[in-house]
Amino acid sequence: MKYGFLGLGIMGSAMAANLVRAGFDVTVWNRNAAKCDQLVALGAKRGMTPKEVASTCDITIAMLADPEAALQVALGKDGVVEGIGEGRGYVDMSTVDDKTAGAIAERIAAAGGRFLEGPVSGTKKPAEDGTLIILAAGDRSLYDDAAPAFDKMGKKRLFLGEVGQGARMKLVVNSIMGGMLAVFCEGMALGKKGGLDPAEILEVLDAGAMANPMFKGKGGMLLEGKYPTNFPLKHMQKDLRLAVALGDELGQPLHCGASVNELFKRARAAGHADEDIAAVYQVVELP
């Protein structure tokens, strides 16, 4: 089985490296070709265009920055659609909206290929450790065929049905994350104003039924007052906005989610867009 891998940013290069190290036959491509060198040094082959990769590999995986890049690589000149043939597979693991995923799915199918969306839950560290959570949806047979590769990149994978359900799952999960972080920040600020030691609040939380890795990680940022970016605040606010919009579409009121969205919007407007999501704390605790 030959694999292609398109897109070697922070996430993609770590994911592709896990495949190469596991002994898979992988051909890599990146817009800026220099980023391929590192993977080639590990044992990967070098591809010239998405079209070429898609036409020579059984399954081509992509991990691209945003919907524009995803559309360009799949549907643009020398793109995947031009190369993919009858029965070959394309797995787009980029985080895109369901319309983008649907548009790519349609064109791949029209070209005779199989399509799977596979956004992931998890950021840089899990990508490096091969412990991502893969939220797949689309062609079931492709999901099964790609399973060995998924199991090198992630610790968990789910097949969620039709194309679009992977994107929705990611939205639901991220909206819960944003909400947890908002109420956590409010609680920390309240306790601090009330004379409690923030480190002790973290200690109590970590000992009880609410203990979770995020509170530990983001809690540390709050204690230090520094917010190095793991997950940019503006991206979380975008997800919250999309979740509120999805609720609108589906007729699901989100009284708390909407408040959370506005709080992140305030943080974004106050200049914290590119800091980590934990930077929302800075508009919760008033100066």
| Touching a copy of itself, residues 130-159 (CB under 8 A) | 133, 135, 155-156, 158
Distance CA 124, CA 129 (A): 9
Query: Active site includes 265?
Result: no
Distance CA 14, CA 42 (A): 12
Does 223 engage in binding with a copy of itself (CB under 8 A)?
no
* Nearest distance in Å: CB 169, a copy of itself: 6
Q: Which is nearer to a copy of itself, 106 or 203 (CB)?
A: 203
Other C-beta atoms within 10 Å of 230: how many?
Answer: 14
Interface region with a copy of itself, contact rule CB under 8 A, candidates 24-32, 51-59, 77-85, 164-172: 164-172
Interface region with a copy of itself, contact rule CB under 8 A, candidates 24-32, 74-82, 145-153, 248-256: 248-256
Distance CA 17, CA 13 (A): 6
| Strand blocks (E) in 118-236 | 120-121, 132-138, 154-159
Q: Which is nearer to a copy of itself, 77 or 255 (CB)?
A: 255
Does 229 engage in binding with a copy of itself (CB under 8 A)?
no
Q: Which is nearer to a copy of itself, 87 or 271 (CB)?
A: 271
Catalytic annotation, pick one of 99, 170, 234, 238: 170
Distance CA 139, CA 259 (A): 37
Give alpha helix (H) positions in 61-164.
67-75, 80-83, 98-110, 124-129, 140-153
* Nearest distance in Å: CB 32, a copy of itself: 30
Distance CA 265, CA 198 (A): 25
Does 211 engage in binding with a copy of itself (CB under 8 A)?
yes
Does 265 engage in binding with a copy of itself (CB under 8 A)?
yes
Q: Which is nearer to a copy of itself, 147 or 256 (CB)?
A: 256
Other C-beta atoms within 10 Å of 177: how many?
Answer: 18
Catalytic site positions: 170
